[in-house]
Amino acid sequence: MNNRTFVYGLWCLGVAGLFIMSTVYAWSPFAQGSRARTHGGFYGPTHK
Amino acid sequence: MQPDTAIEPQPAPAARALTCPSCGGSVALRAAGYTVHVACQYCSSILDVTDPQVKLVTAYNQHLAELEIPLGTRGVLRGVEWEAIGYLQRSEDGDYGWEEYLLFNPYHGYRWLVKVRGGWSMGEALTVTPDWLSYDQLVVNGENYTHFFADGEARVDYVLGEFYWRVAVGERVKTADWVRSGVMLSREENASEVSWTRNAWLAPAEMRKAFAIRPEAIWPPLPHQPSPWGAWLRTGAKIGALAFAFLLVFALFFGGTSWTAAGSFPVAADGREQSVTLGPIVLPHRYQSVHLRADVPQLENGWVDLDYSLVERKTQQVYEAYGAAERYSGTDFDGPWSEGSRKAEVSIASVPVGTYDLVVEYKANRWSGASGYAETAGWMDPAAAPVVQVEVRRGAVYGSNLLIALLLLAAPLGLALIWHLAFETARKSESDFAPSGEDDDE
């Protein structure tokens, strides 16, 4: 195995690792919504 | 009784020394018995050593070339130990010069070590004549070669060491070359013979190991120089495909649930802001994405703003997203047109485990072409009973993440492909048969 193959193998492992992490945390850079950072008050109780 | 006399094997050629009749220097013969001509290592005079009385063929008193591989140096190339015994400088009438070392091994014969623009090849004389495959293709020993250099003329400019033929400065041969990746097939022709040589590319690491030659930058590439990216591209593509297949299988296992109805609520005719709470929505995993899809079946020439808030019942932590369903249509001089969609989908990432309420704040709007707001109720007419239907599903894998992963996996391969194509373009542009305009030298 030459250096290029080894480095590319590591690269693929890194990409696969990031993909798995993004799946574990159900994260995407393109998700429209996320945790509200500026919400000040309480909604509750909101359930019927 | 006389003992039987054993037949002794022919002794391997031994080195012997002779005296140069021109300068008196001691000249070592490394392939004695095979060598025909030797160039004196001190004055470069060419001597004929086939006669016990060494004859001076051509007297020179020229400056000796400094050789990268001093004659007498031994090195192991492809499993065989070779000794450099002769050296030639050749050119096409003074242009495009190159160097050739004659290598010798008593059990394997002769080979050529050819240096062109810093690249090295090992040449072996062919004992068969190649066959024509097409007008520009030759085949020999199952290998196809493409014509690269048309008829040229090589001239010997400088000689040092010993040779198995009567070499002379100024000696000329007609040349032509064919290539395949890693190999050049060279044809040389003079008045009495045609010879073919198979020149195999030697990687810089091989030359460094065999003769401690430092690698040099070569650009443009030599005709038979293999692309440094070509072979790796095939290996890399297999690794990349394997990695992507793994991600696809992984994604299938974490694909998420199908859409389920979360609720349906009416649209007010006066267009005021409304709010509704749907739920509970139970999210069982440590983290998941929540996808929300609104459908407004009656929507026409209007839009609905949708503010979603997922509120965890215990912690009151809020996860927010904004969406809008909008749909417009009309008729102009091109005929009927429509744009937008009655459905709008948003997703909320990284929502932790818990029981949530979905608070939807929404506001319906109507539009009537260039005049802006319509006077009539339009699609929000209570008679049509317009509603907003919301569906929900949870998941983990985003298609966009899979696409990003694919791009990241493919990026190094794409770069390698670009470099490979640039290399091949530059290599082929050196050919006499390159399409017009590619060869910068012309």
Q: pLDDT tens digits, residue range B105-147?
A: 999 999 999 999 999 999 999 999 999 999 899 999 999 999 9
- Would you kindly state where each structural domain of chain B is located, as residue ranges? 16-219, 227-254+398-442, 260-367+379-396
For residue A3, list chain B residues with Cβ-Cβ distance below 8 A: none
Q: Inter-chain contact A46–B277, Cβ cutoff 8 Å? A: yes
SS3 of residue B409 by DSSP: helix
pLDDT attached to residue B200: 97
Q: Which is more confidently placed, B424 or B54?
A: B424
| Rounded (5°) CA angle A26-B347-A21 | 15
pLDDT band at B17 (very low <50, low <70, confident <90, very high): confident
Mean pLDDT across chain B, nearest whole number?
Answer: 88
- Return the DSSP state at B297: T
pLDDT attached to residue B132: 94
Q: Inter-chain contact A26–B408, Cβ cutoff 8 Å? A: no
Give the count of alpha carbons within 13 A of A10, CB side only. 6
pLDDT band at B356 (very low <50, low <70, confident <90, very high): very high
H helix or E strand, kind and range, residue B184: strand B183-189
* Residues paired with residue B112 on neighbouring β-strands, in sequence order: B102, B123
The Cα of B68 is separated from the nearest Cα of chain A by a number of Å equal to: 29
Q: Inter-chain contact B319–A33, Cβ cutoff 8 Å? A: yes
Q: Inter-chain contact B349–A20, Cβ cutoff 8 Å? A: no
pLDDT band at A45 (very low <50, low <70, confident <90, very high): very low
Pairing relationship of beta strands B343-366 and B194-202 according to DSSP bridges = unpaired
Instruction: Quote the tokens at residue B227.
Output: 């692309």
The Cα of A13 is separated from the nearest Cα of chain B by a number of Å equal to: 8
Residue the block writes with tokens 């593509």: B237
Interface test with B, best of A28, A37, A38, A48 (most B CBs within 10 A): A28
Instruction: Quote the tokens at residue B77.
Output: 């190339």
For residue A32, list chain B residues with Cβ-Cβ distance below 8 A: 321-323, 346-348
Q: pLDDT tens digits, residue range B248-298?
A: 999 988 777 889 999 999 999 888 999 999 989 999 999 999 999 999 999
* Spatial distance between the Cα atoms of B322 and B316, rounded to a whole number of angstroms: 19
Q: Inter-chain contact B251–A9, Cβ cutoff 8 Å? A: no
Determine the residue of chain A that is closest to B407 in CA distance.
Answer: A15
| ipTM of the prediction | 0.82
pLDDT attached to residue B75: 96
pLDDT attached to residue B16: 75
Q: pLDDT tens digits, residue range B138-185?
A: 999 999 999 999 989 999 999 988 999 888 889 999 999 999 999 999
pLDDT band at A40 (very low <50, low <70, confident <90, very high): very low
Virtual CA dihedral for B106, B172, B169, B19, nearest 10 degrees? 30
Mean pLDDT of B229-251: 94
* Spatial distance between the Cα atoms of B39 and B46, rounded to a whole number of angstroms: 4
User: If you classify domain B260-367+379-396 with CATH, what class do you get?
Assistant: mainly beta
Q: Inter-chain contact A23–B254, Cβ cutoff 8 Å? A: yes
* Spatial distance between the Cα atoms of A41 and B356, rounded to a whole number of angstroms: 17
- Would you kindly state where each structural domain of chain A is located, as residue ranges? 1-26
Q: pLDDT tens digits, residue range B32-67?
A: 888 888 888 788 788 888 777 777 666 655 556 688
Which residues, including other chains, have CB under 8 Å from residue A42's CB and lie 6 or more apart? B316
Instruction: Quote the tokens at residue B33.
Output: 């018995």
Q: How many CB atoms lie within 10 A of CB B127?
A: 6
Q: Inter-chain contact B251–A23, Cβ cutoff 8 Å? A: yes
Instruction: Quote the tokens at residue B209.
Output: 């190991």
Q: pLDDT tens digits, residue range B301-339?
A: 899 999 999 999 999 999 999 999 999 888 888 889 889
- pTM metric for this prediction: 0.78
The residue type found at B145 is Y
The Cα of B288 is separated from the nearest Cα of chain A by a number of Å equal to: 5
* Spatial distance between the Cα atoms of B10 and B414, rounded to a whole number of angstroms: 59
For residue B349, list chain A residues with Cβ-Cβ distance below 8 A: 26-28, 31, 33-34
